[in-house]
Amino acid sequence: MSFSLFNPWSPWLTAIALNSLLLILAAVLPKKLLTPAGYRHAWFLGVVIWAAMGWRGYAVVMVYFLLGSAVTRLGIARKQAAGIAEGRSGQRGPENVWGSALTACICALAIASLNTWGDPLITRWVPLLALAYVSSFSTKLSDTTASEVGKAYGRRTFLITTLRPVPAGTEGAVSLEGTLAGIGGSALMASLAWGIGLITPWGIAICLVAALAATTLESWIGATLQNRFAWLTNELVNIINTTVGALLALVLGYGIG
């Protein structure tokens, strides 16, 4: 696979035109998935991803955005009644955009930069970074799906550190329903990436393992550290989560390759 950042201007012009059109459509549609500031940051993210990775990388981030937004709406009435629904009726702001996609954005820029070298010893890292890119979104969709399904439909919810029953929505809580849904979410994201040629079939398995390990770590952080440190916000934990997922995929992909 090959992605180019300097081609020289056409990828950027295409990215700006496409994302501007989508921003206009979002502005006129009655249902808002992001806040106004969230849309502006998503526009910038979309421009970078398209220019750096083309339509394949863009397809991954768009599918994540749509699926993640849809999952957030699952059982919304029940979650609102319990006081554990996402704020702003599920609309995401800039902090959510970058909490979910900062790691992926760095991977995309690294891919584009490496492709400018033309040295096979350097560009051989491009497929591994593409795997890390996909794994970051696979991890985040797994996390989002597990959390939202668990809050809406989890019959029994346990604290990951002690397995003590806790109310749904507790930081560090897990449920069987949420865990299985999270695995399904990561598998769906990775399968899409394989279907469009971003990763190999082995990459699907790697994304599943990386996502499960990263989301488990995130639950542990939520149960043990997040309430102790004010600076450890949900957005920062999301960045840690996606970064761990990406790095694990990079290491596993390098080992298998």
Q: Give the pTM.
A: 0.91
How many CA within 13 A on the CB side of residue 128?
16
Please say whether the beta carbons of 168 and 157 come within 8 A: yes
pLDDT along the chain (257 residues), means of 10: 50 93 90 88 96 96 93 74 60 91 97 84 89 98 93 88 88 92 96 97 97 96 91 94 98 88
User: What's the confidence (pLDDT) of residue 131?
Assistant: 98
User: What's the confidence (pLDDT) of residue 4?
Assistant: 44
User: What's the confidence (pLDDT) of residue 146?
Assistant: 94
Burial (CB count <10 Å: 0-12, 13-18, 19+), residue 107: buried
- Dihedral pair phi/psi, residue 170, rounded to 5°: -70, 140
Domains in the chain: boundaries:
56-256
Question: For residue 30, what are the contacts with CB-CB under 8 A and spacing of at least 6?
Answer: none
Which residues are 159's β-sheet partners? 173
Q: Hey, what's the torsion of the CAs at 174, 178, 180, 184, to 10 degrees?
A: -130
Q: How far apart are CA 71 and CA 122, in angstroms?
A: 38
